[in-house]
Structure 1
Amino acid sequence: MPISRAARRATLRLGAVALAGALLAACGSGSSGSSASDGGKVTLTVDLFGTFGFKEAGLYAEYEKLHPNVTIKESSTEQENDYWKALQTRLAGGGGLADIQGIEVGRIAAVTQQQADKFEDLNAFGAKGRKNDYSPAKWAAATAADGRTLGLGTDVGPEAICYRTDLFKKAGLPTDRDELAKKWSTWDGYLALGKQYQAKAGSKSHWIDSVGSLYSLMIGQQKERYYDDSGKLVYKDSPAVKAAWDTSVKAAEEGLSAKLRQWTPGWNQAFSSGSFATIGCPAWMLGYIKGQAGNGGQGKWDVAPLPGGVAGNWGGSYLAIPKGSPHAKEAYELIKWLTAAPQQEKLFKKQGSFPSSLGAIEAVKDVRDAYFSNAPTGEIFGKAAETSPVQVLGVHDGDVTQQITDALNEVEQKGTSAGTAWSHAEKGIENAVG
């Protein structure tokens, strides 16, 4: 999943719900050590961020039916950044951890390079047999230098643009996804179409939800952005970062953004209110839109390929088991089942989370989504997944993205100059990296 999933992945809960999730996770760590395999009742706790979609797609209920001695309790924190901070605190203290923890792709390098001793080696439970189910890059990202497998992949985040056809019609813009793909074949074309929309829509609706969203979408198109292949932090001199930053600042200065900070209540409400017409749409965002726009949004949304002529990836996640789980064996069995091809296929068809399992990717290639105007989502996201770059990931990928998008929020919401905001991002990254 996701921001994530970074969304990728993200649905977000506010502070009270995040606290409730932490309490649920804490209860899970202190539960009985009885085993489902010997007939004992087992409660497995799953702590996630955003919307992975397992519960929404009915997968937990299906697993519990297949395993009547198992009860699954999920907690979820809305903001992945908040989730990660809480997870670090629990890992450091050795308590309050769930049996299964979600790991966003932007954090997986930190796990494999700095925290491998805090997670179970899934090979001890038979994970090596799953290696050929994934692309080499997806598998390798969760593998430590000594060969330990620390997580199994859930989804990936191939990118597209989701847009409101009803708002496009009112503004006199075309709604056909193929025609739009031609008009916004470049990012300049995308912003130019946005200016046309803004001229007709006025101040009540905007072209994009936020410039932070635009930045994340663009940076996802690049192989090298924050780190080089040697592990050196190079974001200050990265052409990819500069291009994404400059384009995002331009969108803010031209008034194309609704200035909605992602994963906030106001942003959630805007999916149905019409406050924005387009949004950067990694595959996991489909499920998020359905959840926020509800039944009233069906048929009002569509999906078109990404601008820029290059596919991209934003988000995607893994499931891992912290050391000390009293139900590590049962937790692995659940992870293995949730990440198997049939379940990943169901997740995409019901929630839009694009599979990382090669078998599931093949199975969903002809899927269309009735909610999104019968868009060929299997084809659109499948092509994006095939051609997305294999990104160079560093231990602070998530932190760098967070600081830069926070700085862009300053530009659009407070009117901070681009230069001042960038200096704030540099200082924040310096503090985060240490």
Structure 2
Amino acid sequence: MTTSSDVEPGPRTFATTRRTVLAAGLAAAVVPGARAAPARTLTVAAFPLVDQIVKDAIPQWSKRHPDVAINVVMRQYDDHHTAMTTALSTAVYLPDVMALEASYVGKFSDGGGLSDLLQPRYDIGRHRARFVAYAYDQAINRKGQVVAAPTDIGPGTMLYRQDLLDRAGVAAADMQPSWDAYVDAGIRIKKATGANLIGNVRTFKDLMIRGGLRKGQGIYFDSDSNVLVDTPRFHRAFELSLRMRRNHLEGHLETWTNEWAEGFRRNMTATELGGSWMVGQMANWVAPATKGLWRATQLPESTWVSYGGTYYAIPRDSDPAKKALAWELIEMMTLDPSRQLAALETQDAFPALLAAQDDPLIDEPQPFLGGQRARELWREAARHITATAVHKQAKFAEDAVNAALDSVLDDGMPISQALSDVARLLELRAKR
């Protein structure tokens, strides 16, 4: 027997009360053939879509451990990571397994709150060659510890509306040579169709600043916490963002809002940049009626970047008696090709496991993309991507850079001044 719950655990989540025991015993005595309640519960904390992936694995887990229930605690994305931050810092209400989005792995990796999966009881190192290289490397902290196991990845991709490009006489190949060429094509698309190139210019900036990084280099800081913002990489991203704004190529739509989704539904957004998982989002709720109109291609300028992904971690201070079970569940979710492929089929979670990437399922046509075999593109991208170091101040840096971009686009501040100002601010925060 297994259970799942979308309710935040209360004080008695990890302890069975006397009343529960008596009730279970009475039920077994009264109902012929009734099975006893599971003796133990393994709690998994997750955010949307990941929670469903874990729930889908419960039947397989039950065959292994009919006496161990799986309790999935789901919170919305931001709430989940805030709760995990609090749990790790206070050691209160720690789950046995926590799902983490890729950027948060870096944030938590040096804090000491996550178990080192290189320890003999886990020995994740023996599986290193089975994962996409960058996904494994991303979980290595400065002490050389591996603090989380990758389960899905987000190879960067460009989605585009084939019909809108056709009306403008633009081919996808016209956008590929450079980011400048991408903006040039956007001007032609806008003139011919009235559609914006992209919903929000920040999305464009985010992909640009991730390109061209050396292995292990961070987006905003290097390995010695030196600030990388006032550099040609950021200047160029800001310059092209400003050019996009001046040519009215963005919809000024906050990503993930209803207005942003309406831009796709009303045929007013010609491209979207992001992780491969975006196709599932578009097909399932953002703009399902546009099925068949979209195609995917690699990002311009041979920009090989990761955009999101999911990991499973074991809190250092979680129940010691359940750590072996927690690791067994993580192994099942990350190293069993059938589970990885099930997540790909149901949630478009692109597998971090190389064996799953070599499955024929990767080569199947994608109906939302007009029958295109797009997963082959994402597999190619995944094998070009290198790990990016995530600094503990990365989220603060991201917010500061976004504010600096707004000051350029909305207030007319010179790019050099905006980036110089934000660089000084980050220097004050870099080594906190």
> When the two structures are superposed, what TM-score results if normalisation uses the length of structure 1?
0.79
- Does structure 2 retain, via aligned residues, the 8 Å contact 1:44–1:99? yes
Partner of 2:312: 319
Partner of 1:358: 354
Name the SS of the counterpart of 2:168 in structure 1. coil
- Does structure 2 retain, via aligned residues, the 8 Å contact 1:121–1:148? yes
Residue identity in the other structure for 1:40 = A
Higher deviation after alignment, 54-63 or 269-278: 54-63
Partner of 2:70: 71
Give distance in 2, aligned partners of 1:29 and 1:147. Answer: 36
* Structure 2 CA distance for partners of 1:30 and 1:344, relative to 1, 3 Å: same
* Structure 2 CA distance for partners of 1:236 and 1:227, relative to 1, 3 Å: closer
- 1:193-204 paired onto structure 2 within 5 Å: 193-202=185-194
Partner of 2:33: none
Partner of 1:348: 344
- Does structure 2 retain, via aligned residues, the 8 Å contact 1:211–1:259? yes
The alpha-carbon deviation at position 276 of structure 1 amounts to 1.5
Partner of 2:176: 184
* Structure 2 CA distance for partners of 1:274 and 1:56, relative to 1, 3 Å: farther
Residue identity in the other structure for 1:188 = D
* Structure 2 CA distance for partners of 1:357 and 1:398, relative to 1, 3 Å: farther
Give distance in 2, aligned partners of 1:64 and 1:416. Answer: 57
The alpha-carbon deviation at position 279 of structure 1 amounts to 0.6
Name the SS of the counterpart of 2:152 in structure 1. strand
Deviations 1:289-313 (A, max 9, x none): 2232354232122112211133222
Deviations 1:188-222 (A, max 9, x none): 111111111111333xx411011111012122222
Give distance in 2, aligned partners of 1:424 and 1:259. Answer: 24
The alpha-carbon deviation at position 431 of structure 1 amounts to 6.7
Name the SS of the counterpart of 1:258 in structure 2. coil
2:15 counterpart of 1:55? no
Residue identity in the other structure for 2:245 = A
Give distance in 2, aligned partners of 1:47 and 1:314. Answer: 19
2:275 counterpart of 1:282? yes
User: Structure 1 stretches of 5 or more lacking a match?
Assistant: 1-19
Deviations 1:1-34 (A, max 9, x none): xxxxxxxxxxxxxxxxxxx97x62x449842379
Residue identity in the other structure for 2:180 = D
* Structure 2 CA distance for partners of 1:271 and 1:246, relative to 1, 3 Å: same
Partner of 1:46: 45
- Does structure 2 retain, via aligned residues, the 8 Å contact 1:211–1:408? no
- Does structure 2 retain, via aligned residues, the 8 Å contact 1:221–1:388? no
Name the SS of the counterpart of 2:399 in structure 1. helix
Deviations 1:124-154 (A, max 9, x none): 2453443232244432332345554321012
Give distance in 2, aligned partners of 1:182 and 1:200. Answer: 16
- Does structure 2 retain, via aligned residues, the 8 Å contact 1:29–1:98? no
* Structure 2 CA distance for partners of 1:431 and 1:101, relative to 1, 3 Å: farther
* Structure 2 CA distance for partners of 1:266 and 1:406, relative to 1, 3 Å: farther
Select the structure of larger CA radius of gyration.
Answer: 2
Give distance in 1, aligned partners of 2:184 and 2:135. Answer: 36
Deviations 1:211-258 (A, max 9, x none): 111012122222245366642323234322222222223212221111
Name the SS of the counterpart of 1:192 in structure 2. helix
Q: Say which of 172, 187, 202 aligns to 1:212.
A: 202
Partner of 2:381: 384
User: Structure 2 stretches of 5 or more lacking a match?
Assistant: 18-36
Deviations 1:268-300 (A, max 9, x none): 444433341211031122222223235423212
Name the SS of the counterpart of 2:383 in structure 1. helix
* Structure 2 CA distance for partners of 1:163 and 1:135, relative to 1, 3 Å: closer
Name the SS of the counterpart of 1:280 in structure 2. strand
The size of the alignment, in residue pairs, is 396
> When the two structures are superposed, what TM-score results if normalisation uses the length of structure 2?
0.79
Provide the identity percentage.
21
Give distance in 2, aligned partners of 1:144 and 1:65. Answer: 34
